[in-house]
Amino acid sequence: MKYPVKALLRFAFAAVFLFNGLPGAWGEEYAVPNSGSPYVNPADLQDGQIVHVPTGVLVDPGQLAEAVSGARVVYVGETHDNIEAHRVQLEIVRRLLAKFPGKVAVGMEMFRRSAQPELDLWRKGELSDARFRKLFGKNWGSGFRLYRPIFEFLKENRIPLLGLKSSRETEDRLREQGLESPFLPEMDVNDPYHKRQAMAIFGGHEPRQGTSNPYHMLVLWEESMAQTVAEFLKNEDYRDWKLVVLAGGYHVQYGFGVPKRAFRRAPHTYSIVLPTIVEIPEELKDREMRTEHVSIPLYESDFIWRVSYKVPPQNRVKLGVMLEELERGLRVLSVSENSNAQRAGIQKDDVLAAMDGREIDTLEEFIDRLQDKSFGDTVRIKALRGGAELEVTVTLQKPENK
């Protein structure tokens, strides 16, 4: 099966990377031991332990917050689907806000720069949670529940949320016109260490030339994020604020991604914290992406925070329908035999409009709400059928073959 460049990039940088430790072709003698942690091998840490990478000194979360509080920007990486990485991110935001009340903003890779007007409305309470969730889906796709605790904290404390990633229009310009496009941000495609790391992910080959070069798209993403960071730093309204950047670990690891590109635009103090997975549970091995070892003569980060790898549980509670997301509601495309939906009388082409008195906004949100239920519970679903409105009661039974 062939995938577009965007899909391949998204898959690659969302995966869990374990470099295979084989000697690379880039001068092993110049590499920092333990893939960037000279004094402590992350594999020797316990879950929850934090190490200051340049010294090997262990610190607790409070000491970490104190250590990074002198930085204007704190980059906190993530493996996108890891609940524990997001818990660390929230902990850092929470502690920095306690030290600098009303002076902390958060930038996220998951929103595009073009989403900023709507993000500002959300912060002011002028964009509904339903519209915000749709905005997330439009900008990033699935996975909202992974970030929900972070969003709830930001909203409760009215913390500014910045969209970091490039707009679709800018990405289209790169595809159509390549690096010569006048609509691109300043692009540095010549960092040797960044390129070596990317080549390991792209299969060890020099990224192809032309308008569909995946390496150039990766650089565009990072340059756009860096541009947003620099604009924040130069904004007099945020002169004494802190910015916490939440992005995929690859984009901040070793500093040659977003941090270096932002520093080039606006020199400033920054710290990098990497929630780090060392062991992958057997049941999650399919999410692991092994790549060729690359020797990088740089510290991996300022701090490594070892975490376990936990993903949201698989969907257990199901109606037994295939659904299509509409502007309002979900259209039923098919109904499975002997399913909860069939027993309740739900039919093909019904439009599911509300559940338990609350409107259905997105397919992902509807699935998440079902997962809050238990087998044996009932839900009331308002549906539209041929112009008529009806309400059905669905008893959520466990599938017989499970």
pLDDT in tens, 114-146: 999 999 999 999 999 989 999 999 999 889 999
Asked whether residue 82 carries a pLDDT value surpassing 60, the answer given is yes
The DSSP symbol for 28 reads: G
Mean pLDDT calculated for residue range 343-364: 91
Q: What is the pLDDT of residues 203-230, one digit of tens each?
A: 655 555 554 589 999 999 999 999 999 9
In this prediction, residue 25 has a pLDDT band, given cuts at 50, 70 and 90, of very low
Beta bridge partners of 51: 58, 304
Beta bridge partners of 216: none
Alpha helices, DSSP H only, in 79-213? 83-99, 116-123, 129-139, 144-156, 168-177, 192-201
Mean pLDDT calculated for residue range 314-333: 88
Residues of the chain above pLDDT 90, percent = 71
What's the pLDDT at 176? 94
Q: What is the pLDDT of residues 385-400, one digit of tens each?
A: 998 999 999 999 988 7
In this prediction, residue 288 has a pLDDT band, given cuts at 50, 70 and 90, of confident
What's the pLDDT at 3? 36
**Is the distance from CB of 107 to CB of 246 less than 8 angstroms?**
yes
Asked whether residue 159 carries a pLDDT value surpassing 50, the answer given is yes
Domains and CATH numbers, the chain: 5-307 (3.40.50.11550), 321-395 (2.30.42.10)
Tell me the C-alpha distance between 46 and 194, whole Å.
29
Asked whether residue 5 carries a pLDDT value surpassing 50, the answer given is no
The DSSP symbol for 109 reads: E
- DSSP state string for 214-235: HHHHHHHHHHHHHHHHHHHHH-
In this prediction, residue 98 has a pLDDT band, given cuts at 50, 70 and 90, of very high
Asked whether residue 96 carries a pLDDT value surpassing 60, the answer given is yes
Side chain identity at residue 189, one-letter code: V
Asked whether residue 73 carries a pLDDT value surpassing 70, the answer given is yes
- DSSP state string for 32-59: PHHHH-SS--GGGSPTT-EEETTTTEEE
pTM: 0.85
Asked whether residue 286 carries a pLDDT value surpassing 70, the answer given is yes
What's the pLDDT at 190? 96
Q: Which two tokens stand for residue 88?
A: 């660390």
Residue 242 host element (H or E): strand 242-246
Residues of the chain above pLDDT 70, percent = 89
**3-class secondary structure, 270:** strand
Tell me the C-alpha distance between 62 and 31, whole Å.
31
